[in-house]
Amino acid sequence: MEKRKLGQGLEVSALALGAMGYGKSREIEDRSEMIALLRAAAERGMDFFDTAEVYGPWTNEEMVGEAFAGMRDKVKIATKFGWDIDQQTGEHRGGVNSKPAQIRKSVEGSLRRLRTDYIDLYYQHRVDPEVPMEDVAGTVKDLIAEGKVRYFGLSEAGADSIRKAHAVQPVAALQSEYSLWTRDPEPEIIPTIEELGIGLVPFSPLGRGFLTGKIDANAQFGDNDLRSRIPRFAPKARDTNQALVDLLKRIAARHNATPAQVALAWLLAQKPWIVPLFGTRRLERFEENTGALSVTLGADDLDEIETAGITVEGARYPDDILRRSGL
């Protein structure tokens, strides 16, 4: 699979697979199938995989650790710290916690669950307003010196936090939501990380499934599906936002591609240091998404997208999540 470089020389496959959707609860009913999918992805040349201690908590990291046992040298694993999780019981207490002592406890737990002695990319999952960013970066810098972590990353951090962290320990990657569905990073974040030489790993590159063209105004979401509470997925908003999917379908038809492939190809075309992070539970969807690497959007395609004048309706998260995450 094609490779790309993030910051600080970290080279990874041009697309990454996120394991979050394979189970954020304590039980993962299709765990064996998801392990098989992770292994199949690696066999097909993908080497960049994403998890976090908070997914479960802990069950997701354990699953990823089992999936890559015996093939650790073939993959690069990213995981995250920063939520207030009791390191004895696994209770997620709801807020953020990036105190140095908590980070050190978190990294030891992640190393154990991932069955490894180093983490390739260690992200702060959310900025902790109570802990100076310099202290967070300094702690990770020490972990890098100890060989427990190889690269430092941030997630959903603002420009000021990025600069403060980078001044202490150079940041390899920022993980934030970015897609044709969510272009918030463009005015300030992308110029900042480009200046500093930091790569971008956009999550939800397919707009939580909306940009695949398989969700319309009549779609129903279960109570345990976050999309049931996201304003952007309200029926009226979906009806308005269909214009974006229709645009992707028109471009996809010209390239013998799917809307999802065009949405990913658009991200890949923005900067050479962008590595989209998608999630899927099915091998056929994995192969569809990685097929985006064979879709080259021309200047006319990109111009058509930019000049379409389409505005996405609705917030990307419910108000309570925006408040809790400091977004």
pTM value is 0.96
Return the closest-CA partner of residue 98 out of 72, 122, 69.
Answer: 122
Return the pLDDT at 326.
Answer: 65
d(CA 84, CA 281): 28
d(CA 278, CA 295): 17
d(CA 142, CA 160): 22
SS3 of residue 179 by DSSP: coil
CB 200 within 8 A of CB 12: no
Q: Characterize 44-67 residue by residue with b for buried, 16 or more Cβ atoms within 10 angstroms of its Cβ, and e for exposed.
A: eebbbbbbbbbbbbbbbbbbbbbb
Q: What is the mean pLDDT of residues 183-200?
A: 98
What does the pLDDT look like over 44-78, one tens digit per residue? Answer: 999 999 999 999 899 999 999 999 999 999 999 99
CA 107, distance to chain mean position in Å, is 19
The backbone region for 213, taken as left when phi is positive above 0, alpha when psi lies in -120 to 50, beta otherwise, is: left
pLDDT band at 321 (very low <50, low <70, confident <90, very high): confident
pLDDT averaged over the chain? Answer: 95
CB 229 within 8 A of CB 204: no
Active site residues: 55
What does the pLDDT look like over 5-37, one tens digit per residue? Answer: 999 999 999 999 998 865 555 567 788 999 999
Burial label, 314 (beta-carbon count in 10 A; 0-12, 13-18, 19+): middle
CB 177 within 8 A of CB 184: yes
SS3 of residue 145 by DSSP: helix
Q: Which of 3-17, 155-169, 225-239 has the weakest average pLDDT?
A: 225-239
d(CA 60, CA 229): 24
Return the pLDDT at 219.
Answer: 87
Return the closest-CA partner of residue 119 out of 34, 48, 201.
Answer: 48
Return the pLDDT at 20.
Answer: 81
What does the pLDDT look like over 255-268, one tens digit per residue? Answer: 999 999 999 999 99
d(CA 152, CA 119): 10
What does the pLDDT look like over 241-252, one tens digit per residue? Answer: 999 999 999 999
What does the pLDDT look like over 102-131, one tens digit per residue? Answer: 999 999 999 999 999 999 999 999 999 999
**Architecture label for domain 3-209+270-295:** Alpha-Beta Barrel (3.20)
Structure tokens at 314: 């609705």
Return the closest-CA partner of residue 199 out of 130, 143, 270.
Answer: 270
Q: Given the DSSP bridges, would you call strands 76-81 and 11-13 parallel, antiparallel or unpaired?
A: unpaired
d(CA 187, CA 268): 18
CA 6, distance to chain mean position in Å, is 14
d(CA 301, CA 313): 23
SS3 of residue 298 by DSSP: coil
